[in-house]
Structure 1
Amino acid sequence: MRVISSTGKTSLGFKNSQGVTSFPIYYRTYVETFFINDKVATATYCTGGNLTLEIYNPTPADVPSSPANYPNLKYKWFKDDVAIAGQSGKTLSVNTPGVYYAQIDYGGCNDENFASNRVTVSSSASGSSVTISSSLGNPFCSNGTGTTLTATAGNKYQWKKNGAVITGATNRSYTTNEAAIYTVDVDFGGCTATGTIDLKGNNFNASLNVPEENEIESGGSLSVTVTTNAVNPTYQWFLGNTAIAGATANTYLVSSPGDYKVKISQASGCTVEKELPFKVTIEGEIPSVEKIPNIISVSAAYPYNFWNIPNEYKNQESSVKIISSNGDLVLDVVNYQGDWPPSGSIDIKNVNPVYYYVIHSQTGEKKGSITLIK
């Protein structure tokens, strides 16, 4: 603001025609529309609980994508078009039904054009009103990045796929490229509820030529083949959650036990992925993870001539270390196949040697001792 004296003299005082000598000046830092409640028009809280409405801040935060990028800004919050006293932050905790919205507080320069979207908030005794929406509709045709599933607003979230918890999926939204039944447990602050969506893609059919549970002889193999009507499909085979290098054909020859799966991707038209799991065990091998032998023999007279371990630990994601009583590391491998000690490698004389093992796997760590006898 520039003030010029009509007499040409500099004056430190100022008075307008109403006799006011001071007044506030506001700089409109942000002059675009903005949103609350992740742009969703409804929200639910538990009776007796509360819900937090917040200025929406897109990710990545692209200035000036949201007033939330300007921490100096203050806000006015409204319920049913009536200003809520004492609320000026970028969040508002609500515990009564109504229609809420926010406005950037520019004092006398306020403009309704700089107000947020309106959100209808309701209460629920059981939180049973959880819904899930798909950004690309349902069925969806993926553009390569997937469709974003968004749940009814709450305080905490946990997403699941076909009943299994999705690790790290604890935000209100979850993006996926795979058709499946997705559920989300929503904590409304006092009660919880679950929403479900049977997400379908413009899908394809795929099947394996083997059942989900398979058993092969020791030293044998199993040829697994995918049959699919996907357009220009690609394949990737996995042992556990680790991709098998070079295994990208529609057929894979399995020769070791473990939990396998193949991921089929349709790269033409709608980009869709599908996973087919199956398990392979060795006939006659120890079925229980609890039964790890602690005595083996270097002669043929004893049932265990080699130190064996359960199939659950025979995969690329499990490591086995064997240490002598002197502290020497005698074995350090992944995907151990029950072939220690090599025949004739240990000569037992007067004392039965003792070794110690450490197994690291997806389910944790197991330790124990191994005593060798004649």
Structure 2
Amino acid sequence: MAYITRIIFQGIFLICFTVSSVPTATAQLVIGQPTLEFSKACANESFNTFEATFVFNPPSSLNTSNQFIVELSDANGEFTEAVEVFVSNSNEITTSPATVAFSLPTDTAGENYKIRIKSTSPASTSAPSSAFAAYFKLHDTPFTINGLIDTGTFCPGLAYLLTIDNPGFDGTISPLTFESLSFNWYKVIDDTNSILIAQGETFQVSEEGTYFAETNYGSCTSESFSNRVTISQASNEEPANATITSSLGNPFCSNGEGTILTTVIGENYQWFKDDELIEGANQNTLQTNDSGNYAVIVTAGDCVAVGSILLESLAGSITIDVPAINFIEMGEDLTVTVETTLDNVQYEWYFNDEIIENATENQLIASQVGNYKVIATATGLCDFSIELFFEIKIEINTDTIPNVISPNGDGLNDTWMIPAEYLSGTNTEIVIFNSNGTAALNTNDYLNNWPENTQELSDANQVYYYMITPPNKKVITGSITVVR
């Protein structure tokens, strides 16, 4: 009987142990759909705070490590690539309902954004909120189009090109500075009404009227709008306006391929640079890397449109203040300065393709004959490098070429010593004739070493004649008296 009692007791103990070993299940957390405390989210640099309220249940299910997260959808309301716009501290939100404040990313632009609330411990996700318009207004001040000129004309059957100024005219900031923005074009109906007629950075106007552009912030109000331009059709007696735009703005930062100039659509085109015709430039676009005054003539039937643009390359804004070839006298030096209006420019100077140590300023004092270059590297507004070259030669006049030598072995005036401008490496031809017209020396590699063999000279004084022929310069002639 005692044995049976022990078995029953052990069975009861085992059942109790088994029951007590089962962990208690954590209550599930349910998060309600967030309620927006705003109708649309229109943000800018000075205002970017928006609130939403949500409920959750039961609060007792929250662990002390829990954080609440606000996720923002894409412009179509999808959360595939959701962005976290708010993350609470651990155990910061413990009571329901709760209100959180979040900020928009600067690339936000659309009419159908949504948010949702997530928790981390335990993990749970709410239903998405109602859709709302949301825009971060990167540019929210007036800007200019058409160079702030308030009129334009177009040829019948063709169009006039309206474009947003980049950079802004007269110190205004161009909205084209911000690549994520888009633009609407409007035609004015009356003093208070206008209609949307096109989108994009430019607009081809083919009918008379008054037009303006506005940065596209959807249903959010915008202070980012342009001046108004009245466009009319030109008569055959006067030329129309052929607007020219630069794809990289003006001034432009060269991307290696250059900027693309675009003008109005016509039938025939001819481009000019600095009043010189550009051969073969007969399309409505022209690609260039160079600064200059560009003009175009566009014809369509009997109508002619003319336009011009003073184009500036930021790379072209870095120059040196000396010509390609510079002549100095023996013992002199040359100060070379890199001139630019750009900030954040670094310099490396080279002499005969060897870097000049510690030469990192915008100025170099050079005295050696040879080839120089400076590599200027700009960063910030425009990232590029440009190489600028110059050469130093010795200025020669016949007074510096000796006409008397005394090869007597005393170490003074023993050979005919001419300036380095004409020595080996300069490709200068040196010919010395005796009085009979026979060449005593003929070389392109002179080393200031004539005469090498004095035994060929007589004991009497002799007169020789020289002819120095440097590349691309006039021939220098004279006489040499050898005193024995």
Q: Give the structure with the higher percent helix.
A: 2
**TM-score (normalised: structure 2):** 0.31
**TM-score (normalised: structure 1):** 0.38
Higher RCO (C-alpha 8 Å, min separation 6): 1
Q: Which has the higher Rg, Structure 1 or Structure 2?
A: 2
